Amino acid sequence: MNAAIAPADGRPNIVFILADDLGWADLSVYGQTHYTTPNLDALAAEGVRFNQAYANSAVCSATRFGLITGRYQYRLRGGLEEPLVRTAHLHGLPPAHPTLPSLLRDAGYDTALIGKWHLGNLPDYGPLKSGYNRFFGNYGGAIDYFTHKPRVGADVPRDLYEGEVPVERVGYYTQLLADEAVAWLHQQSAARPFFLSLHFTAPHWPWVGPEDEHISRDLTDLFHYDGGNLHTYAKMVRSLDAAVGQVVQALKEQGLDENTLIVFTSDNGGERFSKTWPFTGQKTELLEGGIRVPTLLRWPAGLSPQVSEQVTITMDWLPTLLAAAGLQPHPDYPSDGENLLPVLQGQAPAHERTLFWRYKAQRQRAARQGRWKYLKINEHEFLFDIEADARERANLRERHPEVFQRLRQAWAEWDAQFLPITDEVFTHGVTPDIQADRYAPERGTRAL
């Protein structure tokens, strides 16, 4: 093993690993019992395991806006698309907007995104236009793990790019991303710190494991509504775990381990085969199962191992990671999140926060303040004691009307600050198949 090295100025390297549709209990350290995730469990044992971490949205692209800007996604037109599908050529992350990678890049970090972008398509949008020095991955929301195509069909081009140039690769996508990440890490040195965004598509559909290339050949629809099973899903998550282990091992072999800050989380809650116990709900729903996400942070040089009960959300990572690098958000674009380091380093106690969500499907609304959660799905409104009732079963709005009205009003005042979800926005990004399957109006009430 090489002698330990760190950037010459002492600032930490940063590796931000984002899973796609990973549910709350899909890791064994969070309660999975049907398979194990030893590499991610090791990250948890050696770092911080968050018990109350949330995603900015119940779907992927909206959360990614929150992550890269450090702000509620509803400040940007592209962030209203949940998800960004049909209009990705029209709406996306404006290249002039300061981002987590652009702020780090301008401060001397080498930056790379390997994996999923999903913040707008070429020619107007892309990772190289928003702060990354290097990009390898897919621009859209999902691709097949072996063909690397966003849709089924012989004449469909692959959504796989090196920078802004389409490329071809052979192999299972999760493994390809791990290999690319390791190769990029091997190019780094002590001359300057680096920021690597490693955004996997796993375990997002299609339901294909690393030995299931024949399934890719037989697919007639990438949504794959008639396929998948718990066994295949387990293989996908275990492949993700192995990929993370491969990256961590590369850091150790290069002596970059001690002063590299690694974050692992998910862009939203789990889907069909995911385990979200003890929560109800899933992706596309503002029930806890749709927005509570497993989250780990490991930084041996800066943080002691711990379990944190501090409530967090995706947009906290911009101010937190900038603070670790000795930086602050752009003054013209203040973060809606907060720097978590004072709490994690024992300089401040865990504290109550008020977080808000809205989601256009079923006109959902949610607010979390302390133990209380306000939730609206269509015309049904609820108040839950989320600490005592993790499954969101007992509606306490009549028992605690003052709390219900306070959070209801707080949500309305918060919502008034942002771009409205108009009828035109509501119909964008929803394919007919998704509208019929996932966004059925009765889903919200049935889930309760």
- The yes-or-no answer on residue 60 being catalytic is yes
Q: Which two tokens stand for residue 359?
A: 């989601």
Answer for the pair 289, 281: CB distance below 8 angstroms, yes or no. Answer: yes
pLDDT at residue 421, as a whole number? 86
Rounded to whole angstroms, the Cα distance separating 448 from 287 reads 9
pLDDT at 189: 82
Q: What is the pTM of this model?
A: 0.94
CA dihedral sign of residues 45, 48, 51, 55: negative
- β-partners of residue 308 are 50
- The 3-state secondary structure of 273-332, one letter per residue: CCCCCCCCCCCCCCCHHHHECCEEEECCCCCCCEEECCCEEHHHHHHHHHHHCCCCCCCC
CB neighbours of residue 398 within 10 Å: 8
Q: How far apart are CA 128 and CA 214, in angstroms?
A: 34
Q: Contact, 410 vs 373, CB < 8 A?
A: no
Q: Which of 71, 45, 15 is nearest to 265 (CA)?
A: 15
> pLDDT tens string for the chain (448 positions)?
333 445 667 899 999 999 999 999 999 999 999 999 999 999 999 999 999 999 999 999 999 999 999 999 999 999 999 899 889 999 999 999 999 999 999 999 999 999 999 999 999 999 999 999 999 999 999 999 999 999 999 899 999 999 999 999 999 999 999 999 999 999 998 789 999 999 999 999 999 999 999 999 889 888 877 789 999 999 999 999 999 999 999 999 999 999 999 999 999 999 999 999 999 999 999 999 999 999 999 999 999 999 999 999 999 999 999 999 999 999 999 999 999 999 999 999 999 999 999 998 779 999 999 999 999 999 999 999 999 999 999 999 999 999 999 999 999 999 999 999 888 786 654 443 333 333 332 333 333 3
- Set 118, 204, 224, 428: catalytic member: 118
Distance separating the N- and C-terminal Cα atoms of the chain: 53
pLDDT at position 9, please? 79
| Amino acid, res. 12 | P
Single-letter amino acid, residue 414 = W
Q: Where do the domains of the chain lie, and which CATH numbers do they carry?
A: 13-344 (3.40.720.10), 354-447 (3.30.1120.10)
Annotation marks residue 330 as catalytic: no
